[in-house]
Amino acid sequence: MTNYIRSTMLALVSSTVLSSGALAQEMGTSSATGQASPAKVEARPSMLGATSPTDEQVEVTAHTYGDGVTRRALGGGLMVNQDAPKSISEVTRDFIAKQNPGQNPMQLIALLPGANVSDTDPLGMTGGHMSVRGLSESQMGYTLEGFPINDIGNFAVYPQEIVDSENLQSIRLAQGSADLDSPHISASGGVVDMYMIDPKKQMGGKIDMSYGSFNATRGFARFDTGYIGHTNLRAYFSYSQGRQDHWRGPGYENKKHGEMKIVNDWGQGNRISLAVVGNSLQNDAYPSVTKASWNQWGYGFDNPVGSSGLMKTDAPNTVYERHFVPGDNNYYKLHPNPFTNIYASMPSTFTLTDHLTLTETPYFWYGYGNGGGAYATSLTGYQYGAQKIGGTINGLSSGSPLLYNPSLTETYRPGATTKLTWSYGPNRLMVGYWFEYSKQRQTGPYSQVGPDGTPLDVWGGGPQLVLNNGVTAQYRNTLTQTEVHTPFIGDSLSLLHDRLTIDAGLKYSIVTRRGTNNLPDVSQKYVNTDYAKALPTAAIRYKINNENQVFVSVATNYRMPTNYALYDSGAYYAGTGYSTKASPNQQPEVSISEEAGWRYQGSLISSSLTYFHYNFTDRLFTQTLVDPISGAYWTSNANGGGEHSDGVDFEIGTRPFHNIRPYVSAEYLHAVTDSNLQASSGKIVDYLPTKGKIAPQSPPWQVGFGLDYDDGHRFGSFNLKYVAKQYATFMNDQKMKGYTRMNIAVGYRFSDFGLMKSPSIRLNLQNITGSRNLTWINSVQTNATAMTGINGNLISAKAPTYSIGIPFSALATFSSDF
């Protein structure tokens, strides 16, 4: 095979972003000191598709330590040289391995340009949130090993459930647009792709044990089979378990997590892999706070009231209890969040001919769990739609007892992405198809609470409220079936000896939702919606020389309306109906993103500078409307109109200089609402003058700084992230102050000892200044103060709610390979 065809095949296997090429360039060949020299990799960039891990096979030929650290990665593992004609940032094992091992993937990419990440607990067990260029995680697409992580109904992401950091090879953030093969119907603002490490070729494994603040304990163990017999088959199996007390108020988290990966590769580019992730989590929710509560009470649990241990929370007249007071629905044990997930993916590649490759990624997603709550419920006059009817629970048929009312969701989600890539001469053509069929059952039963305030079954089972007509009482009861068909095609042309690359592609997304609402007296019992969107993309990249390159790209992305927008649900009010009203005619949110960038990739320093512009239409917006006469309220999913944003992303990192590797990232963002939003004035429709206001959750400035030191034995890192102020309302009449967070890690890597390979100890300190900050806006509102609408009607005030960032915490970890 000629050198030219070899180059073409390497480009084909690596596909778009060529993270493997970047990693191989950083890893090079081993030396006695553990240093590595760069190795040349022949590959062509593209933005056609790189979601599947089979598109970016990584062969580590440099010396690495037991935790996967190479000591050569740019910026201490916070940067990878990229060739794709769009903005991409990436973290690798050199950074991941030195962080708190319990951190979830969102926390691990907090220093990247544009990543505005919140954290609510030291071990990342309660999740967190992230926005990128002012777009929340529900507007981003997340994949692990090629399969989608976002909830198929509301597109939420629960990062604490995804993957253990010890098995995480890299996380790639594409700030601007999804690839053609990205399996998402919610990625109007970019994607986050996560890749697991491969099983080792020799038998071995890894253990680590951690203990820290708030009684945090965590253990992890992995066993690698190495090659099994005389085959190319290898696998690993891992298990972790962590527990910690709440740092704010009563409660705890307990997480059990298992993973496995099996790989079989043979011949020239043939590979089959199977990744399975299982997660079981039980935790108690941290309550949100309003700005008034934060200003008065700070962390919210500093002011005990009375001898029973009542604690202040999100308003001065509300309590959050350590000990149950009969009838109080704020008791923390009534707000659990149990969830069980199983993810499975089998990304595989088959080299059919010298010019044709098949990539197949089937997957299956199962999830079951809830977010708990409790309400005093009348057993003699339960509001069953428009009528009141009696009911019985465990023999009780009178009074208004406090009943546990969790929001249960069960999801079955199989799918597959198939693509063929044909490469000949300077041309590479990719055609593919993504198909998915999901079923999501969502219910809200009422079940019994024990005398101590604990639900008899946190999963909502046990004795339930059964009405006199034989129906189990529910505040929602829906079944949604979502069918996705997305063909895509893309072509990449490489000219001038691979210095100039031209990409163009198109995917056509067809989504059908079929829903059934089993509540009585709803506006629509059966809902059928069909959506179809053509999403073109194009890009050009030009290498000026070996160090400098420029690129320009334009892409169309979209986000479907959520499934809960299809249904009436919640409490029923005479004359107004259900508290959440269906909006089945919403259109998908569409974004057009444009980027122009420059990269410098030298032998010591690499940098990237990107200008971006977004234009949104049909922004999806959820609002609460209130009837001032009856006091009834309802939630409505509305079209928020248009929005545009402009900004600049920057990052720079170095290779080791006297064992030191600094990294700096920054973003400037100017995001503006282009429409006047509908708002509540009782039953009268009015609008607020939001046009021209700064969009919420869009900090104008962010700066990240990382400093890594590693001499082979001693290692340490310092991380700093500054996030400027963010507005919490579309009227810009309430904001969250800017804040700075700083973390430190120090450790020592010992020489091999007996069965232990590269044993190490490290100490991770988070929020080292102990600063107290609000770090996320949980509920964005139209206006926080009452005001007059455009049509002269009084618009009532609505208080945004916030999450509080973690205080100072410390975690000590011992780890070793064997």
Both tokens of residue 803?
């999450």
CA distance 15 to 9: 10
CB atoms within 10 A of CB 655: 19
Q: Kindly give, in sequence order, each residue whose CB lies less than 8 Å from that of residue 232, ignoring residues fewer than 6 positions away.
A: 264, 265, 266
Task: Please report the beta strands in 158-251, taking only residues with DSSP state E, as ranges in sequence order.
Answer: 168-174, 191-196, 204-212, 216-224, 233-245
CA distance 537 to 75: 31
Q: Per-residue pLDDT tens for 416-439?
A: 999 999 999 999 999 999 999 999
Both tokens of residue 253?
């988290």
Flag whether pLDDT at 63 surpasses 50: yes
Q: Per-residue pLDDT tens for 690-720?
A: 999 999 999 999 999 999 999 999 999 999 9
Longest Cα pair distance anywhere in the chain, in angstroms? 84
| pLDDT score, position 315 | 41
Q: Per-residue pLDDT tens for 474-483?
A: 989 999 999 9
CA distance 103 to 91: 14
Flag whether pLDDT at 200 surpasses 90: yes
Task: Please report the beta strands in 298-448, taking only residues with DSSP state E, as ranges in sequence order.
Answer: 304-305, 310-312, 319-321, 339-345, 348-351, 356-371, 374-376, 382-384, 387-389, 391-392, 402-404, 407-424, 427-445
State mean pLDDT over 333-350.
93
Both tokens of residue 54?
């089979």
Dihedrals φ, ψ of 25, to 5°?
-60, -35
* Model confidence band, residue 621 (pLDDT cutoffs 50, 70, 90): low
CB atoms within 10 A of CB 450: 12
Do the Cβ atoms of 56 and 748 come closer than 8 Å? no
Mean pLDDT (the chain) is: 86
Q: Per-residue pLDDT tens for 575-615?
A: 778 888 888 888 888 999 999 999 999 999 999 999 999 99
CA-atom Rg of the chain in angstroms:
27
**Cα-to-chain-centroid distance, residue 386:** 39
Both tokens of residue 749?
């890597």
The number of C-alpha atoms within 13 Å of 720 and in the hemisphere containing its C-beta is 10
Q: Per-residue pLDDT tens for 104-119?
A: 999 999 999 999 999 8
The CATH number that domain 3-221+234-243+252-265+274-303+320-388+413-817 falls under is 2.40.170.20
* Model confidence band, residue 300 (pLDDT cutoffs 50, 70, 90): low
Left, alpha or beta for 269 (phi > 0: left; psi -120 to 50: alpha)? left
Q: What number of residues does the chain have?
A: 818
Both tokens of residue 551?
């690129």
CA distance 320 to 338: 20
Q: What is the DSSP letter of 446?
A: -
Q: Kindly give, in sequence order, each residue whose CB lies less than 8 Å from that of residue 375, ignoring residues fewer than 6 positions away.
A: 329, 402, 403, 405, 446
Pick the closest to residue 101 from 209, 194, 24, 188 (CA basis): 209
| pLDDT score, position 372 | 81
Please state the domain extents for the chain.
Answer: 3-221+234-243+252-265+274-303+320-388+413-817
Do the Cβ atoms of 193 and 63 come closer than 8 Å? no
Least confident of 267-281, 530-544, 633-647: 633-647
**Cα-to-chain-centroid distance, residue 487:** 25
Q: Do strands 466-467 and 391-392 pair parallel, antiparallel, or not at all (unpaired)? A: antiparallel
Flag whether pLDDT at 4 surpasses 50: no
User: Strand, helix or coil at 161?
Assistant: helix
Flag whether pLDDT at 763 surpasses 50: yes
Q: What secondary structure does DSSP assign to 331-349, as a single string?
A: -GGGSB--EEEEEEE--EE
Do the Cβ atoms of 108 and 78 come closer than 8 Å? no
| pLDDT score, position 622 | 58
Whole-prediction pTM value? 0.89
Tracing tokens 């010591």 back to the chain, one arrives at 604
Do the Cβ atoms of 321 and 441 come closer than 8 Å? no
Q: In what order do the strands lie in the sheet with 319-321?
A: 304-305, 310-312, 319-321
Burial of 148 (0-12, 13-18, 19+ CB in 10 A): buried
| pLDDT score, position 22 | 33
- Three-point CA angle 418, 423, 426, nearest 5°: 140
* Model confidence band, residue 217 (pLDDT cutoffs 50, 70, 90): very high
